Amino acid sequence: MFNETAKSEGKGQVAPYVPTRPPLQDRFGRTFDYVRIAVIEQCNLRCTYCMPEEGVQFKEKDMVLRSNEIERVIKVLASMGVKKVRFTGGEPLVRPDIVDLVKYAVNTPGIKGVHLTTNGILFPKFAEPLRKAGLTGVNISLDTLHEDKFEQITRRKGIGKVMESIEMAVALGFPRVKVNVVLMRGFNENELIDFCELTKDKAVTVRFIEFMPFDAHQIWESGQHFASAADLTGQIESHYKGIKEASGTRTEHHIYQAPGYAGKIAVIPAFTRSLCGNCSRIRVTADGSIMNCLYSEEPYLLKDVMRKGGTDEDVEALFRKAFGEKHIDGFESKKAASIKAKVNVSDISRNRSSMTQIGG
Ligand code: SAM
Ligand code: SF4
């Protein structure tokens, strides 16, 4: 049961939560009220654009944030006005305490939405407990509607489970169900309209995400697979004549609904970065670092602060430092990282072996 409602049930109206600490803002006046927490690096798939097939150096268990540390981060951030939590990974459903983490977040005063990004393989097993725990949104990643291509992209079987997950998420009435598609030229670009057609009968948002250069094999580098948001919106608009703009989240810059369709279509310019001005995201990596931007390489070692006996005020201070130093956009973040590392800007994301440390 969703927290604000739960608290008001049978007890009359509950006063809205007032954060006890000032909001988290940067020097440009932007407010950050949405945290994405990668709870694990491990994954049960090996998507080619994310992880190598073998030889991934996962951190030892003790190097990853423990449940009580994740809970503390949520509690402190909620007291700073954070309203939305997303659990991601790696594959968050591989972490044994994920339902308890969701419950904790749902019951934290001030948190209004708790979401999860999953590859959908284990979701059918967890769907009901997650719904009962109060999860408000689920993003299910699926890059193709064809079994053979699914195996090619993920290096594993399981498309049936992912399709089942989408159906279950809708049937169980999760308030927000989204399908994340990384659109790549030469891989799945020809499925753009087939994916859009999923929104005809299903009340889901299909989101096309630009391919970003955080892939272990650097297939991004070849330049052959990148499809820009501008390309994708062009194709959508020319296929669905008269398609209307719809409302979406801050990063769903291009969002549409085809006439008479149940769901929505969104395009996320994750690489071309026209969304930076609207960013409200705080990222916490599985090994407990704060990231003030997806393209930043500055380490803010939150886990160390907590494990060295830091107080909640120390945790708050590190978030303020990280966001006090945030750059205006992802291009500037990358430039700053290249100057510090004394390498070319184009070499910056190369150091990162995978999105599994960051969680997307
Ligand atoms: N395992 C879960 C999943 O796949 O949904 C959660 C973690 S995954 C890193 C989060 C999102 O990042 C997924 O939607 C995935 O498709 C996306 N992603 C991973 N690598 C990417 C890349 N190089 N470019 C764009 N999106 C990427
Ligand atoms: Fe695993 Fe998600 Fe990365 Fe695919 S995108 S390998 S499912 S973490």
244 C-alpha vs ligand 2 centroid, how far in Å? 32
Ligand lying closest to the C-alpha of residue 89: 1
Q: Cα of 256 to ligand 1 centre, how many Å?
A: 22
Using alpha carbons, list the distances in angstroms from residue 172 to 9, 126, 136, 148, 296: 22, 12, 11, 29, 38
CB of 356 within 6 A of ligand 2: the answer is yes
Angstrom CA distances, 37 to 217, 268, 321, stand at 24, 20, 18
Nearest CA to ligand 2 atom 3: 50
Give distance in angstroms: CA of 336 to centre of ligand 1.
25
Q: Tell me, what amino acid is at 110?
A: G
Predicted confidence at residue 227, as pLDDT, reads 85
In angstroms, rounded to a whole number, what is the distance separating the alpha carbons of residues 109 and 111? 6
pLDDT at 63: 94
Nearest atom, ligand 1, residue 270 CA: 25
Closest by alpha carbon to 231, among 178, 276, 192, 278? 192
Please give the distance, rounded to the nearest whole angstrom, from the Cα atom of residue 309 to the centre of ligand 1: 33
Q: Which atom of ligand 1 is nearest to the CA of 212?
A: 24
Nearest alpha carbon to residue 156 among 287, 314, 302, 47: 47
Q: Which residues contact 161 (CB under 8 A, 6 or more apart)?
A: 120, 121, 122, 123, 124
- Indicate whether residue 88 lines ligand 1 (CB < 6 A): yes
Res 223: pLDDT: 67
Query: With the CA atoms of 136, 323, 66 and 20 taken in that order, what torsion angle do they form, in degrees rounded to the nearest 10?
Result: -70
Closest CA to 213 of 328, 36, 50: 50
Domain ranges of the chain: 27-357
Q: From first to last of its 360 residues, what are the pLDDT tens digits of the chain?
A: 334 444 444 455 778 899 999 999 999 999 999 999 999 999 999 998 888 888 888 888 899 999 999 999 999 999 999 999 999 999 999 999 999 999 999 999 999 999 999 999 999 999 999 999 999 999 999 999 999 999 999 999 999 999 999 999 999 999 999 999 999 988 899 999 999 999 999 999 999 999 887 655 556 566 678 888 999 999 999 999 888 888 877 666 689 999 999 999 999 988 887 778 888 999 999 999 999 998 888 889 999 999 999 999 999 999 999 999 999 988 888 888 878 777 766 665 555 555 666 666
Ligand 1 lined by 48 (C-beta under 6 Å): no
Using DSSP's 3-state secondary structure scheme, residue 134 falls into coil
CA dist., res. 53 & res. 46, Å (int): 6
8-45 burial code (b ≥16 CB/10 A, e <16): eeeeeeeeebebebeebbbeeebebbbbbbbbbbbbeb
* Verdict on whether the full-model pTM lies above 0.85: yes
Q: What CATH number should be reported for the domain whose range is 27-357? A: 3.20.20.70
CB of 156 closer than 6 angstroms to any ligand 2 atom: no
Per-residue model confidence (pLDDT) at position 57: 84
Ligand 1 and 354: CB distance under 6 A: no
The ligand 1 atom at the shortest distance from the C-alpha of residue 91 is: 1
Helix (H, G, I), strand (E, B) or coil at 120: coil
Sign, Cα dihedral of 249, 254, 259, 262: negative
Residue labelled with tokens 């007890």 = 11
- The region, left, alpha or beta by phi > 0 then psi within -120 to 50, assigned to residue 78 is alpha
Q: Which ligand is nearest the CA of 355, by number?
A: 1
The per-type count for the chain, helices as H runs and strands as E runs, is 11, 12
Question: Which DSSP letter does residue 226 get?
Answer: B
Residue 51 in contact with ligand 2 by CB distance below 6 A: yes
Measure the CA–CA gap between 35 and 235, rounded to whole angstroms. 32
The ligand 2 atom nearest the CA atom of 182: 5
Burial class (CB in 10 A: 0-12, 13-18, 19+), 162: buried
Q: Return the best residue to mutate from 219, 349, 355, 357 for the ligand 1 pocket (most ligand atoms within 8 A of CB).
A: 355
Q: Closest-lying ligand to the alpha carbon of 45?
A: 2
